[in-house]
Chains A and B, each alone.
Chain A
Amino acid sequence: MPKSRNHISEEEFQRYLKNQMTETERNAFERELQKHPFEDDALSGFQQISPDELSNDLNELKSRISRKKPVRNYRIWVAAATFLLLISTGILWFQLKDNNPLPKLTETKTIEKQENARTLETEISNEKSGLNEDSTIQALEMIDNYADVQTEAKAEPPTRKILTPKKSGMETETVPLLQQSKGKSNTDAASQENMQLRNEREIMIRGVSDQAAGKDAKAAMPSSTTDDHIATNAIEVKGKVISLSDNQPLPGAVIQQKGTTNGTIADKNGNFALKMNNESENAVVVSFVGMDTQEFQPTSDSVKIIGLESSQLALEEIVVAEKVPDRKKQTAGYVTAAKPILDSPAQPIGGMDKFQLYLEKMAVLEENYSSRKVGVKVKIKFNSDGEITGIENLNNADADIFERTVKIIQDGPEWTPEFKNGVNIESERELKIIFRKKK
């Protein structure tokens, strides 16, 4: 009987199930099954259905598995998905970088000034003045005008426009213009003038930004010059958010106009500036994860330092237990779940209640039986697979009744084994069955 490939084939099972084997063959087959628990279990399963149903089901399963094969290139899909995820994260990150207004504004101001300086250059070249003083005056005028333009630009989400002209591009452009204006081919002189003008430019820029900075003690944003140009019922609230426990800034703190979607986020130094429409109506809410929220009423041109306190509420700690063996050979811990399961005793499949009902239904005495009712107490032993390995008669019940009890239990539902500390184990349990006469 044993095949060269060391396992029993479907055909042999079919022959056995269809009673096509001789008794000797049957014995040999059954003895073989004693050696192979997998096949033994499988046979118990097969005996639940008819042999034809079995062959139909197995053929169906074979075709289902073959169909599955081409689709299941698991690893490739995982790789593709990860790749896509990385790409989209990268794109998102770049988008957010561009959109983030606060830290960039000092730079943008410089860039604006350079753009400004370009127009200055063109002015110079057009008018052919070439004198420092004049150009300074003109530059200042231009800067003021430019500031106006700038505030209008700021009323909407601004930074995109400003960032686009690149520094390097502009600088290279300015040089030829200068040379043109001088009308000299003397490159030394031209470059000297260029240097001078550039220095002037820098001074101008510094001057303007100092001016801007001077207006508010702490804010990093030089937008105070723009206050005058904003509509009169709008105010700008500026400030810094810090943690009260250590006086450190809280970057990423949320500052919102209460009840609206108008809000901003504190920069890496904790600084923020929030424009609001009506100073009297809405309060300003400052919040940060893990800290108690603060509210205040803003007044125009106010610069506030907001200190937040750690919140008393804490989230419940959750412990994730991972089972890792201390065997040296093991390369990775095998965990199929992250939650420990409750121990449970051996139970009949379908539940104890259903089992009790089944027992009641079966434990019926004959009409002509000597007593009205008989109680049987048994001890059932289970192995770690939930199979019944023994049934003991504990209360010396009558042999016939005990025999019936054993049959009832064996004919009943299968049992799941006792589960303790994450393992199926052997167990035993007592059971009481009361035989009664039918009403």
Chain B
Amino acid sequence: MQLIPFRKKKKDKSDSELLADYFENREMEVLGELYQRYMHLVYGVCLKYFKEREKSKDAVIQIFEKLVIDIDKHEIRNFKSWLYVVSKNHCLMELRKTKPGETLFISDENEMAVFMEKTPELHPIDRETEEGSEKALIECIERLKEEQKRCIRLFYFENKSYREICSVLNLEEKKVKSFIQNGKRNLKICLESKNAEK
């Protein structure tokens, strides 16, 4: 590869480039490189569900093996989102197996398709701000419940970390996250109704 100056090194290729490369040449190394980019995330998700290190490590390997087989079955546009869904499904399936009376798991194709077609939509507050929408956003924030309002303001407008918000408001981190999530949800509802009014 070093002989040809225009060929990018594997590390610099984008996900879709690596995927295309794999489909053309069928080299396992290419797939391995792609997987290793997100392997830490797969491990993290497994840890979240299993809470055990060994089980999670085994799952990471199993998911890679599954990936090798499934990669031909779908048209994958966004590798990262697809990998996320596959990992979550694998974890949920494993957890269901430990319960008696339940055996196999069918994944819904539409669910898979959604993640393949596009990246998930971002909440307005997470997006780069657009003119006009900012005003609506501020109005909606005003309407929030006290704690949700405060958390959102501290997090998004004063750029405070969860830790700081915890100490300022005397709340636990889980609660802070919860208020932020609920606040975002209410904001979304409020913004959508405002959009409908226009």
Contact = CB atoms under 8 A, between A and B. Distances in A.
The reply to whether chain A is a binding partner of chain B is yes
Interface of A: 5, 7, 10, 13, 23-24, 26-28, 30-31, 34-35, 37-39, 41-46, 48-49, 53, 57-58, 60-62, 64-66, 68-70, 72-75, 323, 325, 327, 329-342, 344, 347, 349, 351, 385-386, 389-390, 407, 410, 414, 416, 422-424
A42 B40 contact: yes
Interface in B167-198: 172, 174, 178, 180-182, 185
A65 B28 CA distance: 10
Contact of A74 (B38, B69, B99, B185): B69
Given A27-B161, A410-B174, A45 B107 contact: no
Contacts of A66: 32
Given A27-B160, A325-B110, A424-B92, A7 B80 contact: yes
B126 A340 contact: no
A41 B57 contact: no
B137 interface: no
Contact of A349 (B95, B111, B164): B95
18 contacts: A7-B38, A7-B41, A34-B123, A34-B126, A35-B122, A42-B40, A43-B44, A49-B47, A53-B53, A57-B53, A70-B28, A72-B28, A72-B65, A325-B113, A341-B103, A342-B101, A422-B108, A424-B111
A334 B102 contact: no
A327 B43 contact: no
Given A65-B36, A69-B29, A41 B74 contact: no
Nearest to B14: A5
A334 B89 CA distance: 14
Contacts, number: 178
A330 B51 CA distance: 36
A24 B159 contact: yes
A57 B43 CA distance: 9
B117 to A, nearest CB: 9
7 A-B pairs with the lowest CB-CB distances in the bound complex, closest first: A42-B44, A45-B47, A26-B161, A337-B104, A45-B48, A45-B44, A38-B84
Contact of A339 (B56, B99, B104, B111): B104
A264 to B, nearest CB: 44
Nearest to A38: B84
A372 to B, nearest CB: 29
Nearest to B61: A64
Given A26-B163, A42-B41, A386-B92, 8 more contacts: A24-B159, A45-B46, A57-B43, A333-B109, A336-B105, A339-B103, A341-B104, A416-B96
Nearest to B120: A37
B92 to A, nearest CB: 6
B187 to A, nearest CB: 13
A70 B45 CA distance: 27
Contacts of A10: 40
Nearest to B13: A5
A242 B95 CA distance: 56
Contacts of A407: 172
Contacts of B29: 69
Contacts of A61: 39, 43, 57, 60-61
Contact of B109 (A41, A42, A60, A323): A323
Nearest to A384: B111
B37 A7 contact: yes
A334 B102 CA distance: 21
Nearest to B26: A75
B22 interface: no
Contacts of B104: 336-339, 341
B79 to A, nearest CB: 11
Contacts of B38: 7, 38
B64 A58 contact: no
Best-surrounded residue of B47, B60, B172, B180 (most CB of chain A within 10 A): B47
Contacts of B156: 31
A49 B54 CA distance: 12
A291 to B, nearest CB: 35
A426 to B, nearest CB: 12
A69 to B, nearest CB: 5
B49 interface: yes
Interface in B67-105: 68-69, 73-75, 80-81, 83-84, 88, 92, 95-96, 99, 101-105
B106 interface: yes
Contacts of A27: 155, 159-161, 164
A423 B182 contact: no
- A30, A62, A70, A410 — most chain B CB neighbours (10 Å): A30
A389 B40 contact: no
A103 B53 CA distance: 66
B155 A30 contact: yes
Interface in B120-177: 120, 122-123, 126, 155-156, 159-164, 172, 174
A340 B105 CA distance: 8
B19 interface: no
Nearest to A25: B161
Nearest to A403: B175
A343 to B, nearest CB: 11
A13 B181 contact: no
Nearest to A76: B26
Given A30-B155, A72-B68, A46 B47 contact: yes
Contacts of B51: 48
A23 B44 contact: no
Nearest to B85: A38
Contacts of B181: 389
A70 B29 CA distance: 8
Contacts of A68: 32, 61, 64
